Amino acid sequence: MSDFYIHVRFLVSVLFIVLGINGAALAEQVKIGVLSHRGDASTMRHWTPTAEYLTREIEGMDFSIVPLDFDEIDPEVEAGSVDFLLVNSGIYVVMEVKHRISRIATINNLVSEQSQNVFGGVIFTSVNNTHINSLEDVVGHSLMAVDQTSLGGYQMGWREMKKVGIDLQQDLASVSFGGIHDEVVNAVISGKVDVGTVRTGILDSMADEGLIDLTQIKIINQQHNENFQIILSTSLYPEWPFSKLQHTSEELAQRVAIALLQMSQLDPAAQWGDYAGWTVPLEYQPVHDLLKELSLAPYDQIKRFTLKDVFSRYYFSILIIGLLIVVLSAMTLFIYRLHRKLEESKHLLEQHHVQILDSVADGIYGVDLLGNSTFVNKAMEEITGWTGEEIIGLNQHEILHHTREDGSPNPPLECPVYKTFHENKARFVEDDLFWRKDGTSFPVEYSSNPVQDENGKTVGSVVVFRDISNKRKSEEAARQYQSELAHVARLSTMGEMASGLAHELNQPLTAIATNADASVRLLEQGSSISRVVEILEKIGIQARHAGEIIKHLRKFVRKEEPELSRININKLIDEVLLLVKAELARTGVKVTTELETELPEVIAQHIHIDQVLLNLIRNAIDSLSLVDKQQRKLTITTAVLDKEHLIIRVMDSGLGISEEVSRTLFTPFKTTKEHGMGLGLSLSQGIISAHKGELAVETTAPGNTVFSFTLPYSRGED
């Protein structure tokens, strides 16, 4: 029947050519490239009826078959010289990846009278081979397959064996290829090879044709599938697809797909093609997976690119990267070590820091901008009774500084520690009060310094404080001692002045006695009362004068408790001059006073200033008594020195002070006098500095000695 058909076709074609009617000239040419695996004649015979079927079914199109060898497929598809392609599933998958062809239908094959759109592979051995019963047993035996490119006749079986861990190249005694299926079957039956693999349907149809007896064959890894009733050893894969090339229009592809799907199994095209019709295109992913797993084209490149290739291609980059990694690693190691060393140094420094802080006897603590304590040293803990754990994080003012000495609350905003970081200015507070944990208080002096971060921003302050209880006590003792000493010195001065004072008192007393006698006489003579009254008044004046002197004397020798009072220095000078009046008279020293009339008052200890003035005046008299009588001049002046101080000067034109004496002038017990104590100037200096003034000496001209002292004056409101 087939030969007859070809002849008819041939005659019709000749007729068309003779009559000049060329179908191709009337209709659009559509070419179907078909894998010509059994020769071009066979391909044309099998598939031309299918092309004709499509020409018939699709109006205006003339389909023709272009047989393509294995080698021709890739270039022809690339060149786009065919519009559709009908090749086996393996080649289709490669073309799909390389040239973006797409399937539009899958063939329904006819195997042992069954319609199948999937197929698989069969792995088998001779029934006589008792050693091989499973896939694993194939190891060490010889295998024959159809062809290296055969999907069903080689690759499917290969994949199954790979699944159980068999490496076909390594683990088998040999792998050979028979070229055609029948050859493989015969080689196994004849015992030429141990194992064979062919596509499904081959064994069944050879048995149907009586070429083999299936009882001679043992199937390995036999699969049972309800929908696939013929002998099978592997997974199933889709049959040949009919596919369109990228340039072929979707519309034409659709029309072809519909025509193919509508083809009846009885259609001559199916009959000639030995197939049962067409079905919707199947999923070809299993074929992709198989090729990938076996690293076959188009997935062979991936595997072939070995590590060696990577090295040879990217040698320089790898070298640079390697070097970089080495350098970076070395640097990282170096930095890591440096970091560790820094950490250690930091730790050590912190330890030193703590040690230093803890070895200081003064209390030290840090304060943040909220006024909370940030750290404390040991001395702070010991002095206050608070531990670091208790106090860190708490408000330092509320803990240490909340109440004043008089019991009134100390407002936080007036706290010098707050002011330090608010105004960013260091402070020193000489006299303040801190509170211990046990509720007792102690006097302190402290400094508060702002602390800045690395950007110069103030972040708090550090307070260094000292308990000044002992300092206060010793100051008090020193004051007491000085007071005692001053008293002794006053007594000594009075001792020295006794004869002069006695003379000074003698005068008014003698005058009183004389006047009293005169009054008596006048009364006896019966003189007028007014005359007697006059004399009595004189007596009164003399008595008061004597009384004044005694009053001053008493005051001067009294052991006075330190007591401040407002003093008019001019008046005080007059009083002192009264005490030395006899001495002045005796030595013939002339006193001049230049006193500032508007002199402000000072707040001072009267007796102490008396003592200073008396010392200076008596020293001057002593020095003046050593020079000619005409030269003996003493000048006392008072004046306002500046906005805060007044100045008192005692100037004499005496012997002057030698350089040697001037070096030890204020040293206690240094005297040039036979009966001197050498205490006068050192006591005076102590007294004046206790009054926040200054005692100084200068020589204005040879023999002109000026002792001066300043005192802060009161502005009235104090």
Binding site for ligand ADP (CB under 6 A): 615, 619-620, 623, 652, 654-655, 657, 661, 665, 671-673, 676-681, 705
Which CB atom, from 558 or from 663, has the smaller least distance to ligand ADP? 663
Q: What is the DSSP letter of 60?
A: T
Which CB atom, from 102 or from 635, has the smaller least distance to ligand ADP? 635
Q: Closest approach of Cβ 496 to ligand ADP, in Å?
A: 9
Q: What is the DSSP letter of 600?
A: P
Q: What is the DSSP letter of 87?
A: -
Which CB atom, from 163 or from 673, has the smaller least distance to ligand ADP? 673
Distance of alpha carbon 118 from alpha carbon 95, whole angstroms: 20
Q: Closest approach of Cβ 608 to ligand ADP, in Å?
A: 15
Which CB atom, from 394 or from 655, has the smaller least distance to ligand ADP? 655
Q: Closest approach of Cβ 666 to ligand ADP, in Å?
A: 7
Which CB atom, from 88 or from 615, has the smaller least distance to ligand ADP? 615
Query: Of all residues in this chain, which one has the CB nearest to ligand ADP in the complex?
Result: 680
Burial 162-186 (b: 16+ CB within 10 A, else e): eeeebebeeebeebebbebbeebbb
Which CB atom, from 135 or from 657, has the smaller least distance to ligand ADP? 657
Contact 648, 711 (CB under 8 A): yes
Q: Closest approach of Cβ 634 to ligand ADP, in Å?
A: 9
201 closest CA partner among 276, 123, 111, 114:
111
CA angle 325, 330, 332 (to 5 degrees): 90
Q: Closest approach of Cβ 554 to ligand ADP, in Å?
A: 23
Which CB atom, from 559 or from 673, has the smaller least distance to ligand ADP? 673
Q: Closest approach of Cβ 559 to ligand ADP, in Å?
A: 21
Q: Closest approach of Cβ 578 to ligand ADP, in Å?
A: 20
Distance of alpha carbon 632 from alpha carbon 124, whole angstroms: 154
**Long-range Cβ pairs for the range 519-525 (8 Å, 24+):** none
C-alpha distances in Å from residue 568, one per residue of 314, 562, 591, 600: 105, 18, 20, 7
Which CB atom, from 76 or from 583, has the smaller least distance to ligand ADP? 583
Which CB atom, from 391 or from 573, has the smaller least distance to ligand ADP? 573
Burial 39-69 (b: 16+ CB within 10 A, else e): eeeebbbbbbbbbbbbbebbeebbbbbbbbe
Pairing, β 590-594 against β 633-640 = parallel
Q: Left if phi > 0, otherwise alpha if psi is -120 to 50, otherwise beta: which for 539?
A: alpha
Gyration radius from the chain CA atoms:
67
Q: Closest approach of Cβ 616 to ligand ADP, in Å?
A: 7
> 613 phi and psi, to 5 degrees?
-60, -45
Q: Closest approach of Cβ 468 to ligand ADP, in Å?
A: 31
Distance of alpha carbon 594 from alpha carbon 650, whole angstroms: 11
Burial 463-472 (b: 16+ CB within 10 A, else e): bbbbbbeeee
